[in-house]
């Protein structure tokens, strides 16, 4: 490739790989085992349409190829945006094309992150906040406004949870952080993604989508193949949107802790209905099948994440008896359900918890399950289970994932 890239984007893969063509610019690669290759090709069949929509929104796709490599289950992230060949966890293969949302995120990096890169990790939000915004714009066009709104709602929930997680170190709830002497992996969170998205969405709401679209295109064309910092972005924003600092507190958004009061929790009929049904679960009401018919993966994810954590084991069993959530091929649903089961001490599912912790190494799933097992003072059985499973599964985890589990243990054991 002729295009320059920052060194963190350089990667290579070695293995007995097969591939399937899924578009004029896209192949899906993986080891030819367990039907993964065919399943991945089906899941990501709409990739070329996403590339075309991305070009309409953000300008030319300059990397020629957009190939996808499905890695073994030990890969600790959802995806990595290596130019020309994105790396993906096999957990994004869900059987209903909803895993393409992760592909939309990695594709969006082709403009925001790979084309314009944060100068260093203290400005990480410039990569991930912009990319989360761009991902949701692509999803809105390809999958519809309701799906994009659910995406925002799930992100809103995770932003609030992550801010709570860092209550004893609010520095890392800022967009522009001070990471001197800090291992970035130790403070990795969804905050740069979701608070960064919220900041850009706030600007869009202030100046209107049409004007913001023109701003984004100019921003990309001005800084492509460059590394920038937050100050550079803010100077460019103020120069191209005169008076914006009078309408939005830019310093509060970039240097303030927590969530600004003018952040946005989404509003839509589907989003409100799902949250309302989640609130009714505490009283014992399980949603009817006709009420969940249009949910797909994200609807269930939002529902489970909004359930009260103090539910009875009998309620967990009753919900699963109808919808078989513990057997879902969508790990977003499965892990959220198992986390609920652990919090209810519904030990019927601990075999499935152990199986899940041993078959996937994605940190997004390891953290909540291990944390649910070891936090609290009255769960010695769960702590014993967690330590045994980690001892047996450790060698199958990536070193970064091993460190994550160890940090959870250090905090709660």
3-state SS string for 226-263: EEECHHHHHHHHHHHCCCHHHHCCHHHHHHCCCCCCCC
Q: Residues forming the annotated binding site for Zn(2+)?
A: 105, 109, 128
Residues 6+ apart with CB under 8 A from 377: none
Question: Cβ atoms within 10 A of the Cβ of 264, count?
Answer: 13
Backbone φ and ψ of 3, nearest 5°: -75, 140
How does pLDDT run along the chain (413 residues), one tens digit per residue? 899 999 999 998 999 999 999 999 999 999 987 789 999 999 999 999 999 999 999 999 999 999 999 999 999 999 999 999 999 999 999 887 777 889 999 999 999 999 999 999 999 999 999 999 999 999 999 988 988 898 999 999 999 999 999 999 999 999 999 999 999 988 999 999 999 999 999 999 999 999 999 999 999 999 999 999 999 999 999 999 999 999 999 999 999 999 999 999 988 888 899 999 999 998 889 999 999 998 878 899 999 999 987 899 999 999 999 999 999 999 999 999 999 999 999 999 999 999 999 999 999 999 999 999 999 877 899 999 999 999 999 999 999 999 999 999 999 98
Which residue ranges are tagged as binding site?
Answer: 105, 109, 128
Q: Please, which residues have CB within 8 angstroms of residue 91's CB and are 6 or more apart in sequence?
A: 73, 78, 331, 360, 362, 365
pLDDT at 382: 95
Tell me if 281 sits within 8 A of 308, measured CB to CB. Answer: yes
What is the pLDDT at residue 295?
86
Identify the CA nearest to 354 among candidates 407, 344, 341: 341
- Which sign, positive or negative, has the C-alpha torsion 384, 162, 331, 153? positive
> What pLDDT score does 390 carry?
98
pLDDT for position 46:
92
Q: Cα(228)–Cα(362) distance, rounded to whole angstroms?
A: 30
pLDDT of residue 174: 98
Nearest one of 309, 340, 342, 310 to 323, comparing CA atoms: 340
Helix (H) or strand (E) holding 346: none
Which DSSP string do the residues of 318-342 spell out, in sequence order? HHHHHH-GGG-S-HHHHHHHHHHHH
> Would you name the residues annotated as active-site residues?
106, 193
Q: Which residue has the tokens 């008076």?
A: 243
The pLDDT, as a whole number, for residue 296 is 79
Task: Yes or no: say if 328 and 362 are a contact pair by the CB < 8 Å rule.
Answer: no
Predicted confidence at residue 294, as pLDDT, reads 84
Closest CA to 160 of 121, 189, 183: 189
pLDDT given at position 407: 94
Helices 363-374 and 399-412, axial angle in degrees (round to 10): 20
Q: How far apart are CA 387 and CA 384, in angstroms?
A: 5
pLDDT of residue 75: 96
Query: What burial letters (b/e) apply to 231-257, b meaning 16+ CB within 10 Å?
Result: ebbbebbeeebeebeeebebeebbebe
């Amino acid at each position: 490739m002729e295009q320059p890239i920052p060194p963190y984007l350089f990667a290579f893969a070695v293995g007995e790989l097969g591939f399937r063509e899924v578009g004029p610019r896209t192949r899906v690669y993986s080891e030819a085992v367990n039907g993964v290759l065919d399943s991945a090709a089906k899941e990501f069949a709409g990739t070329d349409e996403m590339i075309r929509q991305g070009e309409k929104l953000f300008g030319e796709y300059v990397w020629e190829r957009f190939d996808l490599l499905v890695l073994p289950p030990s890969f600790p992230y959802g995806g990595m945006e290596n130019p020309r060949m994105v790396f993906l966890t096999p957990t994004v293969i869900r059987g209903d094309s909803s895993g393409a949302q992760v592909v939309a995120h990695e594709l969006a990096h082709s403009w925001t992150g790979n084309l314009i890169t944060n100068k260093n990790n203290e400005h990480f939000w410039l990569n991930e906040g912009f990319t989360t915004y761009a991902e949701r714009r692509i999803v809105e066009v390809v999958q519809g406004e309701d799906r994009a709104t659910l995406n925002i709602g799930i992100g809103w929930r995770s932003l609030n949870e992550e801010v709570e997680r860092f209550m004893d170190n609010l520095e890392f709830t800022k967009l522009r952080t001070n990471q001197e002497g800090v291992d970035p992996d130790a403070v990795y969170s969804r905050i740069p993604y979701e608070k960064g998205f919220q900041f850009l969405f706030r600007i869009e709401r202030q100046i209107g989508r049409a004007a913001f679209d023109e701003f984004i295109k100019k921003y990309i064309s001005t800084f492509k193949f460059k590394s920038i910092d937050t100050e550079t972005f803010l100077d460019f924003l103020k120069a191209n949107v005169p008076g914006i600092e009078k309408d939005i507190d830019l310093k509060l958004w970039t240097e303030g802790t927590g969530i600004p009061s003018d952040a946005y929790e989404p509003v839509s009929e589907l989003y409100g209905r799902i949250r309302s049904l989640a609130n009714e679960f505490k009283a014992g009401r399980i949603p009817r099948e006709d009420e969940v018919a249009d949910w797909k993966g994200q609807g269930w994810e939002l529902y489970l994440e909004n359930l009260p954590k103090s539910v009875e084991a009998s309620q967990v069993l009753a919900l699963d008896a109808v919808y078989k959530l513990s057997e879902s091929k969508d790990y977003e649903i499965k892990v959220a359900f198992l986390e609920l089961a652990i919090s209810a001490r519904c030990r019927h599912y601990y075999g499935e918890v152990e199986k899940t912790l041993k078959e996937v190494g994605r940190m997004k799933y390891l953290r909540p399950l291990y944390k649910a097992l070891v936090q609290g003072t009255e769960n010695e059985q769960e702590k014993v289970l967690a330590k045994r499973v980690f001892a047996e599964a450790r060698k199958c985890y990536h070193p970064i994932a091993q460190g994550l589990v160890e940090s959870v243990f250090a905090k709660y054991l």
